[in-house]
Structure 1
Amino acid sequence: MGMTEITIIELPPERLDLLQPLWERLKEHHLARAPYPWEDMRGKSWEDRKRELVRPNKQLKILAVQSGAGLAGYCIATITDQAWGEIDSLYVAAELRGRAVGRQLMEAALGWLDAAGISAVTISVACGNEAALPFYEKFGFRPRSYSLQRVSR
């Protein structure tokens, strides 16, 4: 059986809801690997996540992976009004991993940030997802600090 052709496409913000099923899979991925109960993530809805992403002070770049008849991955990058960039979310479906799809998404997102003159770019990696760190290091990301959050008792 041949490999399914993939294409990276850009989605306008009004089509962000197309990513909901993929975001739900990413959420489950993080919850399954979290070393501590992550109740705030467990209770987070797609509408909550959209409110974090779509704000008047943010420029939004939405890249999606078209594979066959559907979407199989995405990368969302933002620029704040303070000229900070962030890779907000990246997900590639398991069946496409190992085919450089994540690399293509990152290169496109970082290209957009570079073209906008953004030099300060951050990414947050969830605890339990440390296996992703070498991937991000290939793009020049390095740990700068640890952010700890007190969880309710």
Structure 2
Amino acid sequence: MNLEFYKIKLNDIGIVKPLWEKLNLLHQSKSDKFAKWFSEHTFEERLEQLYEKEHRGQLRIEVVKDSALDVNVGFCISSIFDGNRGEIDSLFVESVYRGHRIGDRLITSALNWLESNNISDIEIMAYYGNEVVLPFYARYGFEPKKYILYRKTD
């Protein structure tokens, strides 16, 4: 495995679309309550949200490529908005590449970028059904702050 970590601009985000779609399918498969929402959530909608975030602040996209196979295997999107708030918006690593500390490198890189921009108010969201990620995020100091409940309408 020959991994290459590199940053891209938002205009090049199409290269992570297949990975984002896998992340969305993962959330869909784990969510017994909101699977329909994930099935209807499109990359194009997500792209609009990211352009809005970039317009309000800064956006950073890091991609991981297995150079030996010439395939992207992970990505992390982080943002700074409202002047002093940061977020790790998306983090995904292909299942066969998990356990090789790729997620650790991505989150550490994102946190370093946020902190180098004097951002200390940093959030990350984990969707219901994907609680398995909580211990991973806890290693980086993330703890639950609040629960946001949605009324299911379907």
State the TM bucket, normalised to the shorter chain: over 0.9
- Code of the aligned partner of 1:89: S
Is residue 130 of structure 1 aligned with residue 145 of structure 2?
A: no
Cα-to-partner distance string for 1:67-102 (whole Å, 9 max, x where unaligned): 120210000001113421000000000111000000
Tell me what 1:98 maps to: 99
Is residue 64 of structure 1 aligned with residue 63 of structure 2?
A: yes
In structure 1, C-alpha distance between the alignment counterparts of 2:100 and 2:34, rounded to whole Å: 32
In structure 1, C-alpha distance between the alignment counterparts of 2:46 and 2:10, rounded to whole Å: 13
Deviation at 1:54, TM superposition (A): 1.5
In structure 2, C-alpha distance between the alignment counterparts of 1:61 and 1:125, rounded to whole Å: 19
Tell me what 2:10 maps to: 13
In structure 2, C-alpha distance between the alignment counterparts of 1:90 and 1:43, rounded to whole Å: 20
Tell me what 1:22 maps to: 19
Deviation at 1:34, TM superposition (A): 0.5
- Code of the aligned partner of 1:60: L
Relative to the length of structure 1, the TM-score reads: 0.94
Gaps of 5+ in 1: none
In structure 1, C-alpha distance between the alignment counterparts of 2:152 and 2:57, rounded to whole Å: 28
Aligned-pair identity in percent equals: 33
Runs of 4+ aligned residues of structure 1 deviating over 3 Å after TM superposition are: none
Cα-to-partner distance string for 1:109-138 (whole Å, 9 max, x where unaligned): 000000000000001101111110000000
- Code of the aligned partner of 2:95: A
- Paired residues, number: 150
Check the 8 A contact 2:32/2:129 in 1, yes or no: yes
- Code of the aligned partner of 1:23: W
Is residue 49 of structure 1 aligned with residue 46 of structure 2?
A: yes
Gaps of 5+ in 2: none
Deviation at 1:35, TM superposition (A): 2.5
